[in-house]
Structure 1
């Protein structure tokens, strides 16, 4: 039986051009290589799963390549690139500061830094979760970080830049990685699905992208989970069932009933949602997001803020035309008020039901 490789590893970018949604950073790094203006220390900051360690590895591979392409990408053919691709390169050294955060660990690293590379120009030291180093380890690291040997380059990666002492920050070039937006994640998932021979609904991929919360690694892990559940045909229904996500249809029906002042129908939909095991707070947050999406659909300038695609986007546009701005604004205020009062409330179901009744009577008051 062939060993399974998770998508986050199988589709990990191997060149600057394949890194998703971090073009400003990859362009800067490529220009630095092209102009031979390499710093001795870099700090890569940003949320989890956005490409910090991946970019560090690509950078280490590229600066040691002996036959760079015209667009500053590694050739994958020289000895250095082949060694890197088969995980036997001695030019790249990775340290996990979460588990190696003592002074002794840093002293071992400092001793290692003195040894020049046997192949290639540079030894690259990638320190993950660098904010986990102890204050004594940081102090032991300072001198080497400021004046390393010419062959040594440090790349520090962290999700919590504010925890790093200023003396370390002042010695590094700092790159802030962005959260990856939903459309970029969905597009990449579509590419992965095609590569795996899977057929996926755009709405399904969009839900996975939303659930990933800006992290490509999380999105690929969720994708693998869905494939295990539904096989090579990934439907919207499979995704919302597996991820326990409320169907958009509930919110569309709810707003339709609000428009018709149908209080009993509104309360019955909420009861159905609770009977399916969903939390009232989860529902009211989803309703707030739905109302917000209808609001941004009211103007062509803000419709690009709608982070859904396909048929769902068209449904939003249609429903938005039947909702007045005044209704949406007041309904948003009610749902936001319910959200803030939910946790301290003693009767949470009643709190949500009262909010729904108030929303269902907004158009009645206007009449």
Structure 2
């Protein structure tokens, strides 16, 4: 039985044309050889398995080739490879320098390939500087490294630098397809793409994985066999999970997650893969970004089909939630619960492709309760004198709060006409109005007063108002105004006579009410002085400072409304005087409190002296 040769060695490129995914570098090197424009010190840097050492060997072979040698000639005597990881001392570099002086026996050049050059010590670098800068004409140095940042600047400045890039998924998959055809292996395109993705840009890793999977599955290389052997979560799981999320089916989604855990995958792997799946769905939604989807044609069809079911807003929200779970996973004490909570949040997203406006949601399939402006009542419900002169028709005698009737269609028309004429109104603040008592007491009203909002149902209109239309904005403006202007004659306003005792009683009731509501400061200010009744129903109080006066004046609207309602007198006025000398009546410090008590009881001094008390 012939010994098995791994694909990474068996299919190592022999020419620059065979190198995968490094066309820019191979073309540059080939042109430099053809034009005799090759530098004497080259630095190849890049990740593992991308072709650095391979390109160095091809370069060493080509610069010594003149066409007369046989096909299998590899110029082994002219190529010296040094592993700097194990030969990193000054003595190793000195031995190398001694060898450089000897010219080649066959060919034109000696090529020194120093791999992992960043592992050289500082002293070895310094010993190598002079030779690297001015080597013999027959010597060419090729340095290879995966960590360019660890090389000292003096070495970098003496080299021509070539940065090798990662092998793309498509390039790796194409090369694997070529190898599979040479070996007579029937490989699915999706299977080769999974291998290329698992290799993470390294062609050598891709070939090693390919050999491993072929050993597992034989001549039939399927996507299922690759996912099982590489312990990769199949993207069908993510397609199924996304469908369940879109259907808001949380129970089945949690069962699917449990099934994934039973296959040996952890929650972090699942949620990270789901986020990548959302990303792939997003790039499928635009023709220009489909090239970013690194999967086979069959899988691309699935992604395009599912991307049509999702919206960009859903995918953005889903990516944000999944990424948040990814960040919190390692620090979470209950990682499974964290992923399950994330899945429940994802299944609760409800976007239909555009952001809903809150007003349109509020007005959708609902009746608009419209508060009519004051002009409506002045037209539909005229004042007392006008009602006596103009008797309403018979069809206008229905549902009138003042004893008369309203025609609904005519009322709605009045509202529409008023809105067109007065699109924006500012009714300002209004004074409170007390309703009629059960004993038919006269109702307290004012020139500007507040009543219960009059609501008119306009659902009978044929055209429904949109939540974003100008009409809806007008309706909203009118809806917020629950205070209307009603013109009332002063003769109709109540003016009952009351005593000072009645005033103080209702004053105390009001203070108690606001104290229970938590308005402690206002209650304390109102308790500072006892209200006194003067002529023309004027209430007078005396305060020690202007600050307390401003506080009471700011809240006087509610106070006066309460007193006018309870005393049934609309002509009550409040007069506040500031008397700073009255501030002395209040004791704040311990000394002031003691003086206050001593004024009431002079024997307090005797008690204090007898027992030698202190404040």
Structure-2-length-normalised TM-score: 0.57
**1 CA distance for matches of 2:220 and 2:122?**
51
Give the one of 169, 174, 193 matched to 1:206.
193
Say if 1:52 and 1:177, in contact at 8 Å, map to a contact too: yes
Encode CA deviations 1:81-120: one digit per residue, 9 max, x unaligned: 6331xxx621100001111111111111111111100111
Whether contact under 8 Å (1:261, 1:364) holds in the other structure is: no
Secondary structure of the residue that 2:72 maps to in structure 1? helix
Instruction: Classify the secondary structure of the residue corresponding to 1:363.
Output: coil
2:357 equivalent to 1:354:
no
2:273 equivalent among 286, 293, 313: 286
| Inter-partner Cα distance in structure 2 for 1:118 and 1:364 | 76
What's the secondary structure of 2:81's corresponding residue?
strand
Which structure has more RCO (C-alpha within 8 Å, separation ≥ 6)?
Answer: 1
Shift of 1:363: 1.9
Report the Cα offset of residue 346 of structure 1. 0.4
For the residue of structure 2 that corresponds to 1:42, the secondary structure is: strand
In the TM superposition, what is the alpha-carbon distance from 1:24 to its structure 2 partner?
Answer: 0.5
CA distance in structure 1 between the aligned counterparts of 2:247 and 2:168, rounded to whole angstroms? 36
1:52 and 2:43 correspond: no
Find 2:304's aligned residue among 317, 339, 346.
Answer: 317
CA contact (8 A) 2:89 2:123 kept: yes
Q: Distance in 2 between matches of 1:283 and 1:246?
A: 8
- Indicate the residue corresponding to 2:462 in structure 1: none
The 8 Å contact of residues 297 and 317 in structure 1, kept in 2 or not, is answered as yes
RMSD: 1.2
2:287 partner SS:
coil
Summarize the alignment of residues 1-367 of structure 1 with structure 2, pairs less than 5 Å apart: 1-67=1-67, 78-79=69-70, 82-84=72-74, 89-363=76-350
- The offset of 1:35, in angstroms, is 1.0
- The runs of 5 or more residues in structure 2 that have no matched partner are 362-615
Q: CA deviation at 1:364?
A: 7.3
CA-CA distance at 1:313 after TM superposition = 1.1
Given that residues 247 and 347 in structure 2 are in contact (C-alpha distance below 8 angstroms), is that contact kept between their aligned partners in structure 1?
yes
Distance in 2, matches of 1:294 and 1:191, equals: 29
Instruction: State the alpha-carbon separation in 2 of the partners of residues 220 and 117 from structure 1.
Output: 35
**What CA distance in whole angstroms lies between the structure 1 residues aligned with 2:215 and 2:86?**
32
In structure 2, C-alpha distance between the alignment counterparts of 1:43 and 1:328, rounded to whole Å: 44
Which structure: larger Rg? 2
| Deviation digits for residues 271-309 of structure 1 (CA, Å, limit 9, x no counterpart) | 000111101111111001000000000000101100101
- Whether the aligned pair in 2 keeps the contact of 1:50 and 1:180 (CA below 8 Å) is yes
Alpha-carbon distance in structure 1 between the residues aligned to 2:10 and 2:169: 21
Measured in 1, the distance between the counterparts of 2:266 and 2:333 equals 15
After the TM superposition, which of the residue ranges 305-314 and 56-65 deviates more from structure 2? 305-314
- 1:258–1:363 Cα contact (<8 Å) kept: no
Aligned residue in 1 for 2:558? none
Distance 1:141 1:268, change over 3 A: same
Q: Return the offset for 1:312.
A: 1.1
Judging by fraction of residues, say which structure has more helix: 1
Distance 2:155 2:103 in 1: 24
TM-score when normalising by structure 1: 0.95
User: Counterparts of 1:61 and 1:110 in 2: how far apart (Å)?
Assistant: 22
Provide the rounded CA distance (Å) in 1 between the counterparts of 2:331 and 2:198. 27
Aligned length in residues: 354
How far has the Cα of 1:310 moved from its partner?
2.5
Structure 2 CA distance for aligned equivalents of residues 277 and 233 of structure 1 = 25
User: CA separation in 2, counterparts of 1:364 and 1:174?
Assistant: 51
Question: 2:311 touches 2:351 (CA, 8 Å); kept in 1?
Answer: no
